[in-house]
């Protein structure tokens, strides 16, 4: 099952005609996860033809306005459209307080059921995947980077399956093998090791606003896809350090060192709106498999 990602917003602190504020939508089976919710995100949902009522979880990286000011409008839209699930919201220290403050600032016409958790480490386990959060460094705002790791799965070798010459009814029993169980067909005992192989789960990492720090490599390590803050060009490295962001070159070096399969650059400053390709070109010189994110871009992993 592929993991589908839609970039709802790829800009930095000031939006542009081309780039909305930060927001990424991830779909995996029945899970629909929003990573950050900048101003205008609910409109981006409509343009991308994604139903916001499909949301199951929201991951907040930090509480700067360009990453969270879309939340009040999103909450109201969900309520008015009879959102009937519990919306799980995860974030750094202070998230519970800030969510409560949002509901003091605006008066929702209706409320939705939410559950807020301040997280670190391996905070979510499902039958299909796990999500981890580790601290990053971005001024005085507690900030998290996240990664989603799909669980490893046993798969059946098709060539070995053909040799068994099973009927459809007999093949129906094979699902137990992928659960690690031994089965018996035609008086023959078949063990998982006889016909299955281990398929490693995919890993996707999200590293937004931060300066270089030790947890970046921990989050990015061996990712099939790393989505990384690239607010600045290499020529503005001093400015990136001052404002505690990354350059596209730093993102590429992270990807290379961490043995990432694919890198996507996001959180692009308005100053590069007419020449953002320079960020991609700089990164590609170091890490070839690099893409510059664009609003409404969709990919699968």
Contact (Cβ atoms closer than 8 angstroms) between residue 239 and residue 12 = no
Contact (Cβ atoms closer than 8 angstroms) between residue 300 and residue 4 = yes
Across the chain, the runs of DSSP E, i.e. the strands, are 4-9, 23-28, 31-35, 57-59, 86-91, 113-118, 121-125, 129-136, 143-150, 153-156, 183-185, 188-190, 196-199, 203-207, 225-229, 263-266, 290-292, 298-300
Rg (CA), the chain: 22
From the list 45, 17, 43, the residue with the least C-alpha distance to 276 is 17
Catalytic member of 66, 209, 229, 295 = 66
Place of tokens 């137990």: 176
∠ Cα 72 76 79 (to 5°): 140
152 in active site: no
Place of tokens 């999103």: 74
Contact (Cβ atoms closer than 8 angstroms) between residue 88 and residue 57 = yes
Active site residues: 66
């Amino acid at each position: 099952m592929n993991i589908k990602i839609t970039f709802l917003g790829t800009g930095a602190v000031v939006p542009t005609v081309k780039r909305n504020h930060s927001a990424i939508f991830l779909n995996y089976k029945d899970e629909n996860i929003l990573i950050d919710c900048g101003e205008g995100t609910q409109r981006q949902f409509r343009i991308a033809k994604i139903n916001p009522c499909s949301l199951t979880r929201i991951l907040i990286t930090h509480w700067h306005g360009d990453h969270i000011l879309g939340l009040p409008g999103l909450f109201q839209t969900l309520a008015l459209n009879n959102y009937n699930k519990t919306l799980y919201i995860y974030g750094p220290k202070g998230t519970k307080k800030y969510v409560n403050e949002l509901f003091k600032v605006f008066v929702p016409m209706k409320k939705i059921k939410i559950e807020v958790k301040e997280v670190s480490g391996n905070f979510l386990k499902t039958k299909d995947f796990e999500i981890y959060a580790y601290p990053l460094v971005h001024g005085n705002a507690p900030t998290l980077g996240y990664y989603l790791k799909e669980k490893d799965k046993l798969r059946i070798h098709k060539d070995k399956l053909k040799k068994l010459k099973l009927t459809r009814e007999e093949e129906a029993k094979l699902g137990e093998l992928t659960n690690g169980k031994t089965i018996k067909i035609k008086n023959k005992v078949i063990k998982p090791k006889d016909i299955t192989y281990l398929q490693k789960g995919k890993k996707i990492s999200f590293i937004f606003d931060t300066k270089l720090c030790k947890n970046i490599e921990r989050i990015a390590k061996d990712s099939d896809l790393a989505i990384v803050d690239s607010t600045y060009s290499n020529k503005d490295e001093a400015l990136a350090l001052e404002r505690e962001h990354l350059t596209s070159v730093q993102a590429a070096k992270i990807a290379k060192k961490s043995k990432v399969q694919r890198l996507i650059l996001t959180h692009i400053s308005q100053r590069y709106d007419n020449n953002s390709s320079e960020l991609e070109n700089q990164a590609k010189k170091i890490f070839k498999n690099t893409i510059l994110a664009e609003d409404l871009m969709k990919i699968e992993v």
